Amino acid sequence: MSSYKIALLPGDGIGPETMAATELVLEQIAMEFSDLDFETISYRAGAENYRDTGVTLPDAVLEGCLAADAVLLSAIGLPDVRQPDGTEVQPTMMVGLRRAMGLHSAVRPVKLYPGAPCVLQNTGPGIDFVIIRENLEGLFASFGGGGMVGDDVATDTLIVTRKGTSKVAEYAFQLARRRSGRPTDGKQVVTCVDKANVFRSMAFFRKVVNDTSKSFPDIEHNAVYVDAMSLYMVQNPWDFDVLVMENQFGDILSDLGAGLVGGLGLGPSAEIGDNHALFQPSHGTAPQIAGKNVANPLATILSAAMMLDWLGERHNDDSCLAAAAAIETAVAEVLAAQVVRTPDLGGVSSTTEVAEAVAAAITKTPVTDVSP
């Protein structure tokens, strides 16, 4: 029996609804995989908590996250809940969590499932690549800092270190080894996305990625400028496998990637560190539909699958790996059927109905290798 302690952060807006849907799926997984046990502990944090208590991330919640085997977060932040300086609370909480947990690599799969809407007329041999975003440095290193000179000048500093870049590059190559390669030819390739022709910091980022590649001679690697990559992702996304990039570039291109494969409602993500990991959907809290039971829960459900995959790899737990694959296979089956789907995907189903459909599919769907 493998037992894992999972910290749940339901958050704000549609967050509690998509989290409840995901818990339903995890309960089904626990029934199907009798040698797995999940101890889930739900914590209150985010904008609503800030409105009520003046604290976004209580110390006890952070301690609970650090003590857990993994953290599953739904969505946090509300546009009408602001800090004294006028900013939303979401960036403060997320940057605080990332720094405290040492989450150096943000992982965003971009995968087109059969039956999911796609804005491209031609999908070629398929879309299945991963964006890996350095998560603690880059332009986001200036969060809470920066400089102002009166009302005339504002500055933020982009930071690239060898240590931080090496960590995210190493994770990118390790992930490429686990994947089945790019859809065109099956080659495992890591692509560094940068602006090395203009900025010293980006040239250094590319150099460190190249240095890291020497430890992975079995994995191909190349580099593409970020502006060109924004074009290639739309023209021929099937040519890519694993993309690694600076924080801000990853923040932008990962949303573009989600837009290619059905939107943020199908966009899971993981934030990985040496000792901790956090998993969350890419979308926001969507307060305009909160409480209506119409939010798409699949991004959160797929994030839970990524969580189980990470736990399985970390603990050499085949049952956990199989459970992760079972969730993604079930999601793919529900999407391919094109019967049960939420309004963002053109359907009329509720959040709960989608979760129930995924749970039902888990009981009958054969498990295949669907690593991120």
Q: Are 284 and 78 in contact (CB under 8 A)?
A: no
Query: Is 152 exposed, middle or buried, given 0-12, 13-18 or 19+ CB atoms closer than 10 A?
Result: exposed
- Is a pLDDT exceeding 50 seen at residue 332? yes
Residue 26's closest CA among 267, 314, 364, 307?
307
Amino acid 368: pLDDT = 45
Three-state secondary structure string covering 115-153: CCCCCCCCCCCCCEEEEEEECCCEHHHHCCCCEEECCCE
Q: What percent of the chain has pLDDT over 70?
A: 98
Q: What percent of the chain has pLDDT over 90?
A: 89
Amino acid 88: pLDDT = 86
Q: Are strands 2-11 and 242-245 parallel, antiparallel or unpaired?
A: unpaired
Q: If you average pLDDT over residues 188-210, what whole number do you get?
A: 98
Give the C-alpha separation, 23 to 32, whole Å. 14
Stated pTM of the model = 0.94
Tokens at residue 141, please? 């290193």
Instruction: Give the pLDDT confidence of 293-320 residue by residue, as tens digits.
Output: 999 999 999 999 999 999 999 999 999 9
Tokens at residue 248, please? 């801000």
Q: Which of 67-76, 87-96, 235-244, 325-334 has the lowest mean pLDDT?
A: 87-96
Q: If you average pLDDT over residues 213-239, what whole number do you get?
A: 98
Q: If you average pLDDT over residues 139-154, what whole number do you get?
A: 84
Q: Are 93 and 32 in contact (CB under 8 A)?
A: no
Q: Which of 30-34, 74-78, 81-85 has the lowest mean pLDDT?
A: 81-85
Three-state secondary structure string covering the chain: CEEEEEEEEEECCCHHHHHHHHHHHHHHHHHHCCCEEEEEEECCCCHHHHHHHCCCCCHHHHHHHHHCCEEEEEECCCCCCECCCCCECHHHHHHHHHHHHCEEEEEEEEECCCCCCCCCCCCCCCCEEEEEEECCCEHHHHCCCCEEECCCEEECCCECCHHHHHHHHHHHHHHHHHCCCCCCCCCCEEEEEECCCCCHHHHHHHHHHHHHHCCCCCCEEEEEEHHHHHHHHHHCHHHCCEEEECHHHHHHHHHHHHHHCCCHHHCEEEEEECCCEEEEECCCCCHHHCCCCCCCCHHHHHHHHHHHHHHHHHCCCHHHHHHHHHHHHHHHHHHHHCCCCCHHHCCCCCHHHHHHHHHHHHCCCCCCCCCC
Amino acid 371: pLDDT = 42
pLDDT band at 140 (very low <50, low <70, confident <90, very high): confident
pLDDT band at 369 (very low <50, low <70, confident <90, very high): very low
Tokens at residue 164, please? 């931080």
pLDDT band at 1 (very low <50, low <70, confident <90, very high): confident
**Average pLDDT along the chain:** 95
Instruction: Give the pLDDT confidence of 32-60 residue by residue, as tens digits.
Output: 999 999 999 999 999 999 999 999 999 99
Q: Which of 94-103, 139-148, 156-165, 279-288 has the lowest mean pLDDT?
A: 139-148
- Is a pLDDT exceeding 90 seen at residue 211? yes
- Is a pLDDT exceeding 50 seen at residue 73? yes
Instruction: Give the pLDDT confidence of 148-197 residue by residue, as tens digits.
Output: 888 899 888 999 999 999 999 999 999 999 999 999 999 999 999 999 99
- Is a pLDDT exceeding 80 seen at residue 364? no
